[in-house]
Amino acid sequence: MGQIVQLVGAFLVLAGFIGNQRFGLSTGSPWYLLANALGSSILATVAATSGNYGFLLLNVVWAVVAIVGLVRLAMGRPATA
């Protein structure tokens, strides 16, 4: 079950990246930000429970940046400054 959770998190992050690189999905779009926020939050949780602190740091920062972008969008501001 743990491997499936990790794969879902990785798939979400990769979906945003592939959407951006291959299909023109903007890095400021809510779909890109949501995929990154959810995927990296899942991966951060997995990293925290397994004691992988480098992986935890990477995914916490990734999630926070994406969540800040989503909050900015919700406030009617562009996701990127």
And the tokens for 77?
Answer: 């501001």
Residue 36 confidence (pLDDT): 98
- Mean pLDDT computed over every residue of the chain: 95
The C-alpha torsion from 26 through 27 and 28 to 30, rounded to 10°, is: 80
Residue 59 confidence (pLDDT): 98
| Nearest residue to 66 via CA among 21, 24, 17 | 17
pTM over 0.75: yes
Every domain of the chain and the residues it spans: 2-74
Q: In this model, does residue 30 exceed pLDDT 80?
A: yes
Q: In this model, does residue 81 exceed pLDDT 70?
A: no
Residue 54, CA atoms < 13 Å, CB-side half-sphere:
0
Residue 65 confidence (pLDDT): 96
- Tens of pLDDT, residue by residue over 53-80, are 999 999 999 999 999 999 999 999 988 7
